Amino acid sequence: MNADQPEYAISRIDQPDRGTRGWLVRLQRNGVRHQEFFSDAAWDGAERALERARQFRDRLLAHARRVSKRRTTVRTHSAITERNQSGVIGVSRVSQTGPNGASYHFWQATWSPRRGERKSVRFSVLKLGDEEAFRLACEARESGVAGEDS
């Protein structure tokens, strides 16, 4: 089921033995779970409860879209943390050991031009030097996020 379907993230709950009848909205976005129950009794019937459940779900989805868009278009720089050593979102230093035992070092830029698609490009530290490889990775990330490379 996808977000364009009318009952996306909405389930009907009918438990007559417990006196529970209504609609349950359950969504998880960015690791945060959202859940709300809309009982038939509280909303004067199943139709009005479903209408309220849809409104609640739609507000959650709209908020998630705004947050997601803001993350990819506005936040291109961040503080250096344990998870982000470059200080630039989507740019990381990669080290690999080849089958011959030699180590290879790259700066890699990663972005998502469309939902469900991921692109990346690497710049060799050996060929370009550390600073130039990093600079090119930052440029590639910026142009990829801006849509110039999609």
pLDDT tens column, 14-40:
998 998 999 999 988 767 788 999 999
Q: Where are the beta strands (DSSP E) in 72-144?
A: 91-97, 103-111, 119-124
Confidence tier at 150 by pLDDT (50, 70, 90) = very low
Residue 1 lies in a domain: no
The proportion of the chain whose per-residue pLDDT surpasses 70, expressed as a percent, equals: 79
Is residue 65 located within the same domain as residue 19?
Answer: yes
Look-up of token digits 């490009």: 121
In this prediction, residue 59 carries a pLDDT of: 87
Whether 124 has a pLDDT exceeding 90, the answer reads yes
Measure the CA–CA gap between 134 and 142, rounded to whole angstroms. Answer: 12
In this prediction, residue 84 carries a pLDDT of: 60
Measure the CA–CA gap between 34 and 129, rounded to whole angstroms. Answer: 47
Residue 68 lies in a domain: yes
Is residue 97 located within the same domain as residue 140?
Answer: yes
In this prediction, residue 3 carries a pLDDT of: 58
In this prediction, residue 72 carries a pLDDT of: 43
Q: How many domains does the chain fold into?
A: 2
Residue 84 lies in a domain: no
Is residue 25 located within the same domain as residue 58?
Answer: yes
In eight-state DSSP terms, residue 16 is G
Residue 117 lies in a domain: yes
Is residue 97 located within the same domain as residue 69?
Answer: no
For the whole model, what pTM was predicted?
Answer: 0.45
The SS3 of residue 128 is: helix
In this predicted model, what pLDDT tens digit does every residue of 67-89 receive, in sequence order?
A: 554 444 434 455 555 566 667 78
Measure the CA–CA gap between 119 and 121, rounded to whole angstroms. Answer: 7
Average pLDDT over residues 126-135: 91
Residue 126 lies in a domain: yes
Q: CB of 76 within 8 A of CB of 141?
A: yes
Is residue 68 located within the same domain as residue 15?
Answer: yes
In eight-state DSSP terms, residue 18 is G
Q: Which of 73, 99, 121 is the last residue of a domain?
A: 73
Residue 55 lies in a domain: yes
Is residue 113 located within the same domain as residue 68?
Answer: no
Residue 4 lies in a domain: no
Residue 96 lies in a domain: yes
What is the Rg, in whole angstroms, of the alpha carbon atoms belonging to the chain?
Answer: 23
Q: Lowest mean pLDDT: which of 70-79, 83-92, 113-122, 141-150?
A: 70-79
Is residue 65 located within the same domain as residue 104?
Answer: no
Is residue 64 located within the same domain as residue 107?
Answer: no
Task: Provide CB contacts within 8 A for 104, sequence distance 6+.
Answer: 95, 96, 97, 98, 124, 126
Determine the distance from the C-alpha atom of residue 105 to the mean position of all C-alpha atoms in its chain, rounded to a whole number. Answer: 28
In this prediction, residue 148 carries a pLDDT of: 53
Provide the domain limits for residue 49: 10-73
Whether 93 has a pLDDT exceeding 80, the answer reads yes
- The HSE-up count of residue 101 (CA atoms within 13 Å, CB side) is 0
